[in-house]
Each structure stands twice: as structure tokens, then as C-alpha cells.
Structure 1
Amino acid sequence: MMTRLGVALFWLLHWLPLPVLARVGEALGLLIYVFALPRRRVAAINLRLCFPEMEAHARNRLLRRHFRMLGRSLLERGLSWWASEARLRRLIRLTGLERVTAAKAEGQAVILLAPHFVGLDIAGTRLAMEGDFVSMYAHQKNKVLDRWLYHGRSRFNDQMLLSRQDGVRSTVKAMRAGRPFFYLPDMDYGRKDAIFVPFFGVPAATITGLSRLARLAGAVVMPCTAHVRRDGSGYDVEIGEAWADFPTADVEADTLRMNRWLEGAVKSMPEQYYWVHRRFKTRPPGEPKLY
């Protein structure tokens, strides 16, 4: 019942003008900061590990800015679920799609490397308006929430949502059939298919799928980032140029390259990265837990 009431509230709020919705979302984020102590602790540890050179008071300010952005992104999911296509096009500026179109015209498979910034769901919705993609979807235990999350990711065109259990073969087949792969490989998924490479200087269990999938599908990799504009007027989704000389025969070097690129993207908008995830949960043998 509580989930249904929450979804109903999201539906009501999505009608608000974006500047008003954003302020409400930021207020929600501050409430989460105050009351969700375990998540605040995880984010604080992540920031301390990744920005050890930053003064403690500066990290605390960054932590609060992050939670404001997090709250905003939660409420603005209602836009992905219910806003009209016309409104979404006004609010979300997409650049670089011509790079994907050109690659597909040449028969090239495409992987869009999409890190976990707070605008990730907005990016997925905006891209879905332009064509048929393939992406990974983790089913939620809460059936009501699962229904609406799935709806938000599949409401435009013919999206293919696969689970990790579907395996590599289905993903590669979809890419070879012309579907760009919206790929989110920057979380700690455990030891399976992962190696330890540095992320902000800290060994992080990182899946090697980007390199392996690019090789199997003969795909080019294009970074895809989504961020709230500095003036708060909407979102920018940017597809960058395809990486040169990728993949290589060295999977570890490829995975390290991904993390180093991600570090640069995070530094450009650190408050918008998903710091509440336990990115360093899995530790190398013999190392103590960090959370």
C-alpha cells in the first residue's frame, strides 16, 4: 500500500514545472541525508576514499550536494514514467546521436558506456525515444515498483531489457542485429567476471564486460553521460566519440582505461555520481572491509 501511495505521489508531482519539482526533490534529498544514516555513511566513506586530498568540510558540502541531487533524481523519475514525449524533448537535450546513426549505417555494433550518474534513467528514456536499444534490467522484489521501473524503461519504441542471467549471447545477438547496448558496468557486482583495478586509486572489483563484449560483437564503445544542467533547467545527454584502439588484447588494460575515463567524468560533476552505492564492497584477498 505504501508503495502505491508513493507512486501516486510521484504521478501528482510530475505535473509540476521542473524548477518547482527540482526544489521539492532537493528537499527530499536533504531528508534522506538526515534520516538514511547507512546510505549517508556509505557515501561519506566513498568520498573520503576517492577524494583524500579534499578538506573534510569540503567533502561534507559535496556530500550534502549529492543528496540534494539524489532526491531530485528520485522524484524526476516520474517524468520518465509519465511525461509526454514533447515535454521530455524540451527538458532533455541529446547530442551526439549522429555518431550512433553513422556507426549503424556502416553495420557497426555500438556499446554506449553509461555510468551511474543521477540522470541515468532520464538518459535511458531520452535515448529510447530515438529507436530500439538493448539494456540490462534488474527485477525489483517490490512488484509495484518493478512494474513502473520497467514501464519507464520500455514505454517508447521496442526496447529489449535483459537480465544478467540472460547471458552474453543474447546481448551480442541484439547488438549484431542493430540495437545499441546501453551498458552500465561501473558498480560492484561481486567477484564473478571481475578483476581488481584502481578507481580513484582504490582497488575496485570491476567487471570486464566492456572489453569482452566489444570484442565479441565487434562493437565500438561510445561514452554516454547524463547530467543536470548547471542552471537546473533540464538535462544534457551527451554521446561522445568512439574510443580509438578499443578493445585491445589486454582485458585488464581495457578495464583500467574505462575506470580512468570514469574518474575524469566524475571529477567534472562529482555531486551527480551515485555515491550511495558500496563501490568498494568486494575487497582483494586479505584486505579488510571498508563499510
Structure 2
Amino acid sequence: MKDNIAPLLVKLFALLPLGFLRVIGATLGRCWWLVNGRAAKITTENIRLCFPQLSPAEQRLLAKQSLQETAKTAMEAGAIWRNSWEWLDSKIVTKEGDDLLRRKLAEGKGVLVLAPHHGNWEVVAPYLASVARLTAMYQPVENPKMDALVLAGRSKLNISMAPTNRKGVMMLFKALQGGTIVGILPDQVPAADAGGEVAPFMGQPALTMTLVHGLIQRTGCAVCSCYAERVAGGFKMVVMEADPAIYSEDQLTSVAGLNASVAACVQRAPAQYQWEYKRFRRLPPEYPKHYRFKG
């Protein structure tokens, strides 16, 4: 029974106007903050670490805003999965850097797009797929019915979903070698067996994936960042140049460039980054330990 509830709610919310979904999300985010649960504590800790220049009151305000924005992303997801590209395209009010993406694609070496958990990342894949064939990695959801709904929503249009295993990585290589687009969520903490380097992110040491470095070095692809900022009336698509260091043959330098590329996106709309994620975990013993709170 419980496996059916979440998919049903997603389908029902998908019928509501985008503006109304944002109002619901903002309300849920405010409640989330008042409960002062795990997500609020993680958000507060991350913002304290990454924005030491802000006063405690300013840090709290940014944390509250982040919870509201993350809740809005969750509320909007069903509508994005369930509606057509034509519907979503009508909600993209402006596209900054669209010409940059198309120029890189025209070079014929494939384009690796860094799509951090910033703004509404569910908008990024359909947008990229409207430009060229997209291959993106997918981590299955535990609830099988929810997994089927999410996978169907993310696989439509011109998108191939690659599993998070060796086969999936090979799919990414082939897509880049074929001159198409590969999308990566670059700000997830890699698993112990997935390859990672400690590099600075927003002034803090963070275990960071090395997959992007490997893809660049083996394919010679171009790289850019992309996110969908939430704005009045819909979304603003933003495509940005990646930090030049990401192309370095030195792995640590490249990984630092990856984090700098993500940070450049975050700095443009800090409240819309998913600060609710434990970005500074799984660090080696010599580094500080965070998230020691209970609950």
C-alpha cells in the first residue's frame, strides 16, 4: 500500500499549475524548518561551513530559503516528468548560454555537461535532449513503482539512461565519442569503490568524483555547466563555461576545477542549491568530521 502512495501523490500534484506547486513547496519548506529535523540541521551546517562571511542571522535566513527552494523542486518534479517537452519549453522564459552549448557540440568531440543539484535539475535533461541526444546516469529509487515513474519521466524525448555501474560508464564514453551530450550530477559524494579525490568546494575539503576527469582525458570532450534557475513564471536555463582547470591532465587539479565549476553556479543563486545533502562526508580520518548532531 505504502509503495502506491508516493507515485499517486506525484501524479496528482503534476496536474496542478506550476505557480501553485511553488506555493505548496514554500509552505512545506517553512514547516520543514520549524520542525528543525535532520534536513534543517544538515542545511544549517553546510551553510555555516561555506558562508563564514555571513552573520549567524544571514546564515539562518539562507538556510530557511534553501529548504523552501528544495521543497519547490520536489513539488515541481512530477509536473516535469509527466508533461510534454512543449509544456516545459513554454516554462523556460530565457536561455543564457544556449549558443555556447551549441558551439561546443558543433566541435564534434562530444559535450560533458555538469548539472549540479542547483535550481531544478529535473529541467536540465529535457532541455539538453532538445539540443542533441543525451546520455545520463540513473540511480534506481528503492520504491519499485516510484522508480518506474521516475525512470519513465527521465527517459522520454531524446534521453538514454545509463546504470550506475561499469556498463553505464561505458555508455557515457561511447556517447561522447559519438559527439553527443553526456549529463553528470557532479556534486554527489562518490562511493568508496567509485574513485574520489579530496578537493576544495566552497572553501571546504570535499570528497569528489574522478569520473569526470577520466571521461575528459579519454575522449577529449568539451565541458560546460548547466542549471535551471527558478524565476518568476518558470525557469531560466543557464549554460556556463567550466573552470579551465577541469581539463588538466593532473587529476587533483582537474577535480578542483570540477568543484570550482559547481561553485560558480551556486554563487549565482545560493538559496537554490541543495544544501540539504551531506556534501562533506566520507572524508579521510585526517580531515574534520561534520554532521555529528542527532536526529
TM-score by length of 1: 0.91
AA paired with 1:89? Answer: D
CA deviations over 1:150-209 (Å, ceiling 9, x no partner): 111112134243323425333111211232111112121244411111112211111122
Q: Distance in 2 between matches of 1:5 and 1:101?
A: 41
CA deviations over 1:32-90 (Å, ceiling 9, x no partner): 33347112111111111111221111111111111111111101001211123322111
AA paired with 2:228? Answer: A
Between the two proteins, the alignment pairs up a number of residues equal to 289
The alpha-carbon distance between structure 1 residues 130 and 79, as it changes in their structure 2 partners (threshold 3 A), is farther
Measured after TM superposition, the shift of residue 4 of structure 1 is 2.4
Q: Distance in 1 between matches of 2:155 and 2:132?
A: 11
Counterparts in 2 of 1:114-263, with a 5 A limit?
114-166=115-167, 168-192=169-193, 193-229=195-231, 232-241=232-241, 247-263=247-263
AA paired with 1:52? Answer: P
Q: Distance in 2 between matches of 1:89 and 1:167?
A: 28
Question: What corresponds to 2:76 in structure 1?
Answer: 76
Structure 1, 73-82 or 95-104: larger mean CA deviation: 95-104
- Indicate conservation of the 8 Å contact 2:128/2:181, yes or no: no
Please list every run of 5 or more consecutive structure 1 residues that lacks an aligned counterpart in the other structure: none
Measured after TM superposition, the shift of residue 3 of structure 1 is 4.2
- Indicate conservation of the 8 Å contact 2:176/2:182, yes or no: yes
Question: What corresponds to 1:100 in structure 2?
Answer: 101
Q: Distance in 2 between matches of 1:142 and 1:162?
A: 17
SS in 2 for 1:102: helix
AA paired with 1:155? Answer: K
Question: What corresponds to 1:265 in structure 2?
Answer: 265
CA deviations over 1:212-260 (Å, ceiling 9, x no partner): 211111101111122111xx31111222246657512222112112222
Measured after TM superposition, the shift of residue 128 of structure 1 is 2.6
Question: What corresponds to 2:32 in structure 1?
Answer: 32
CA deviations over 1:6-28 (Å, ceiling 9, x no partner): 33233222232222221012112
Question: Where do 4+ consecutive residues of structure 1 move more than 6 Å?
Answer: none
Please list every run of 5 or more consecutive structure 2 residues that lacks an aligned counterpart in the other structure: none
Q: Distance in 2 between matches of 1:139 and 1:101?
A: 30
Cα RMSD after superposing both structures: 2.1
